[in-house]
Amino acid sequence: MPINREYIVKRAISLIFVVLGVIVITFIITRVIPARPELLWAGPHATIEQIERARRELHLDKPIHIQLWYYFTDLFTGNWGISWRTRMPILPSILGALPATLELVVFAFILAIAIGIPLGISAAIRRGSSVDNIIRIFSVSGASTPVFWLALLLQLVLCNWLGLLPAAKRVDEYIVLSTGFRPITGFYIIDSLIQGNMLVFIDVVKRIFLPAIVLSLYPMCLSIRMTRALTLEVLSELHVRSSIAWGIPRNRVLYRYVLKNVLAPVIASLGLSFGYTVVGAFMVEIIFVWPGIGYYTAMSLLSYDYPAIIGCIIFVAILYSIINTIVDLIHAIIDPRVKL
C-alpha cells in the first residue's frame, strides 16, 4: 500500500496540537501545586537573598502566562531546561534513560507474543476443553491484575523467599566494574553481546526477566484472547474445513491458512497497546528501581522538579503519538482491508 501523505500530514498537525495542549495543561498544573521550587534550586542552606534571586532566575516572580511564554521560547529553541533536582539538562537526561525503558518494553513484548499467540491457538483448537477454560481464565484474570500488586508479589516470592532472581536494578555494579563493561547503544543486552561479556549478559537477562514478565502480562492476555477469537473464525471458514476434510495434515493447515490470517491483526492490535505499555512501564520501573524514563519522572515528581516533569510528559506524549501513527501505517500495509 502506498503511503498516504495527506494522512501523515494530518497526523503531524494533530500531534503538534496534542503536544501544545499537553504543555499548557501540565505547566498550569505544576504551578498550581503548593510548593517552593526556589528552595530546591537555591539549596537547603540558602539565605533569603539567594532564595529571592532563585525566584527571579526561575521567573517565579512573574505571572503564570509570562512564565509559560518564557518556557515556550526556550522549548522552541531546543532548550528543554535544567533539572532543578540534578542541575543537568533535561533532554539529554531523558534520552539517556530512554534505552532502559525501550529495552524493558521490547523484551516484554517479545515474551507476550512468544507466549500469547501459541496459547491462543492452543485454546482455539481445543475449544470447550479444560485446556481452553484454563487459558481463558488466565487471560481474563491476567488482564485485570494490577501491575504494582503483581510486581510486589513476584518480588516477595521469587526474590525474597526463593532467591531465584535479583529484586531490583538493571545490572550489578560489581560485575560491571570487574569486567570493564561499557555501554555503547544503551541497550545492555545488545552491548554485552557486542563486547562478548557473557557475565553482564546473564546478569542483565536475569534482572530484566521479572519486570518484563510483569509488564508483558496485559499484552500477553490481549494476544491470547484475540488469537483465540480469530483462530476460531478462520477455522470455521469453508476452505479451511475443506482442507481438513481432504486429509491435509492439521499442522500444515494451521500454518498455511490459520496462522497467516491471524498474525496480522493480532500484531497490529499489540502495536496499538505498545504505547500503553510504555506508560505502564513507569510503575514497574519504580518498583524494580529500573533507571528508565518512569523512574526519572517519579524522582522528579517527588522533588517538585517542574521542568523535568513537563519535559518527561512532553517526551512521552510525542513518543506515544509517533508510535500510534507508525502502528496505524504498519497495520494498513499488512492488512489491505484497512484504508487510511
- The per-residue pLDDT for 211 is 92
DSSP type of residue 88: S
Q: Which range marks the domain in which residue 216 is found? A: 96-291
Mean pLDDT computed over every residue of the chain? 82
Domain-located, residue 63: no
Give percent above pLDDT 90 in the chain: 9
- For residue range 249-273, what is the model confidence (pLDDT) as tens digits? 767 777 777 777 777 777 777 766 7
Average pLDDT rounded to a whole number, residues 144-156: 87
Domain-located, residue 255: yes
Q: In this model, does residue 1 exceed pLDDT 60? A: no
Q: In this model, does residue 20 exceed pLDDT 70? A: yes
pLDDT-based confidence at residue 340 (cuts at 50, 70, 90): low
Name the nearest CA neighbour of 22 among 68, 74, 70, 59: 68
User: Domain containing 270 — which CATH number?
Assistant: 1.10.3720.10
Domain-located, residue 150: yes
pLDDT-based confidence at residue 57 (cuts at 50, 70, 90): confident
- For residue range 64-103, what is the model confidence (pLDDT) as tens digits? 888 888 878 877 777 788 887 788 888 889 998 999 998 9
How many domains in the chain? 1
Domain-located, residue 85: no
- The per-residue pLDDT for 68 is 83
- More confident of the two residues 60 and 114: 114
Domain-located, residue 116: yes
Q: Helix, strand or coil for residue 82? A: strand
Average pLDDT rounded to a whole number, residues 225-232: 86
The cell for 84 is: 532543578
Q: Which of 42-46, 195-199, 236-240, 242-246: highest mean pLDDT?
A: 195-199
Query: How many C-beta atoms surround the C-beta of residue 277 within 10 A?
Result: 21
Domain-located, residue 314: no
Q: In this model, does residue 201 exceed pLDDT 90? A: yes
Residue 255's beta-bridge partner residues?
none
- For residue range 276-320, what is the model confidence (pLDDT) as tens digits? 777 778 888 889 988 888 889 888 888 778 788 888 888 888 888
pTM over 0.95: no
Dihedral sign for Cα 151, 153, 159, 165, please. Answer: negative
Q: Which of 45-49, 73-77, 110-114, 244-248 has the lowest mean pLDDT?
A: 244-248
- More confident of the two residues 57 and 156: 156
Q: Which of 65-69, 196-200, 323-327: highest mean pLDDT?
A: 196-200
pLDDT-based confidence at residue 198 (cuts at 50, 70, 90): very high
Distances (CA, A) of 155 to 101, 151, 209, 264, 284: 19, 6, 12, 35, 11
Query: How many C-beta atoms surround the C-beta of residue 278 within 10 A?
Result: 21
Domain-located, residue 126: yes
The cell for 83 is: 533539572
Domain-located, residue 108: yes
